[in-house]
Homo-oligomer: A and B are copies of this chain.
Amino acid sequence: MLAAIEAGGTKFVCAVGDHQFNIIDRTSFPTTYPEETMAKIIGFFDAYDEIEAMGIGSFGPIGINQHASNYGYITSTPKVKWRNYNFLGEMKKHYQFPIGWTTDVNAACLGEYHLGSGKDKHSCIYLTVGTGVGGGAIFNGRFIEGFGHAEMGHIILRNHSADPFQGVCPYHGNCLEGLASGPAIEKRVGVKAEELDKNHQVWEMIGHYLAQALLNYTLILRPERIILGGGVMNQSKVLTCVKKEFALMLAGYVDTPEVDEYIVLPSLGNNAGITGGLILAHQLL
């Protein structure tokens, strides 16, 4: 039996699954403070005594360098109670089985790579466009990471000529997340993104910024597929706009798969992250 945790800034999902990554049982609860959350996690998993390994995909930033003192920690998160919290260390106090540790977006990427929209490819990027913008990349089965994990939601973009918006990223203002996340849309137009009309011009701008980011990712990584998830992608107009703008900006400069094959939605839906956690666990066996 495999175990997985999707540790999100808003809610935690815990699940156990079989070796085919079918979910046998799951639970979820709001992210409050570490002690309370940890008690719920342990309450859930303690009911299963056949767990062989666990995979955790966590909100971050997190420490992923096994040789660094902050390995396994949630580090400089804006969520004060979770800052410098030794999440993996705490889990290891309770469990003897091996535990894999990566970011929430890497876990979702892993799920989609093996069983979802990336399953026939050797490389893919998964980008979530929600409360924040975050991404993970897998090439030949391995995450792209080095000194730390990717933070591809915070790249610098060129401002759209008709967009004076300063952005909402607390660190950078108008980085990708600052310009194209759900809260950025809400701040621009004064209405929650999910309540905004399909024909509002802001969707073209969001499409433009995402396309710019995708173009840079493409030139740097040349993935075979890019998967766009997160709440903002529920507005179907966004995908249409991204593809149109991407094709315009790319202008055939480098080869990519045909745009409808290249820029796609996730196919595991809400299960991408937790499935990725199970896969991460399985890799430890």
Contacts and interface: CB of A to CB of B under 8 A. Distances in A.
Given A216-B220, A220-B216, A253 B154 contact: yes
A146 B217 contact: no
Contact of A158 (B148, B157, B254): B157
Nearest to A149: B222
A268 interface: no
A139 B144 contact: yes
- Chain A residues touching B, range: 35 or more
B221 A156 contact: no
User: Can you tell how many copies of this chain the complex includes?
Assistant: 2
B255 A148 contact: yes
A150 B137 CA distance: 15
Contacts of A253: 151, 154, 171-172
Residue in A137, A152, A155, A157 with the greatest tally of chain B CB atoms within 10 Å: A155
Contacts of A139: 139, 142, 144-146
Contacts of A157: 156, 158
A158 B159 contact: yes
Interface in A135-183: 137, 139-140, 142, 144-152, 154-159, 171-172
Instruction: Specify which of A122, A144, A147 lies most central, judged by the most chain B CB atoms within 10 Å of its CB.
Output: A147
A220 B150 contact: yes
A58 interface: no
B216 A151 contact: no
A251 interface: yes
A219 B177 CA distance: 13
Interface string A229-253: 0000000000000000000010101
Contacts of A255: 147-148
A218 to B, nearest CB: 8
A72 interface: no
Interface of A: 61, 122-123, 137, 139-140, 142, 144-152, 154-159, 171-172, 212, 215-217, 219-224, 249, 251, 253-257
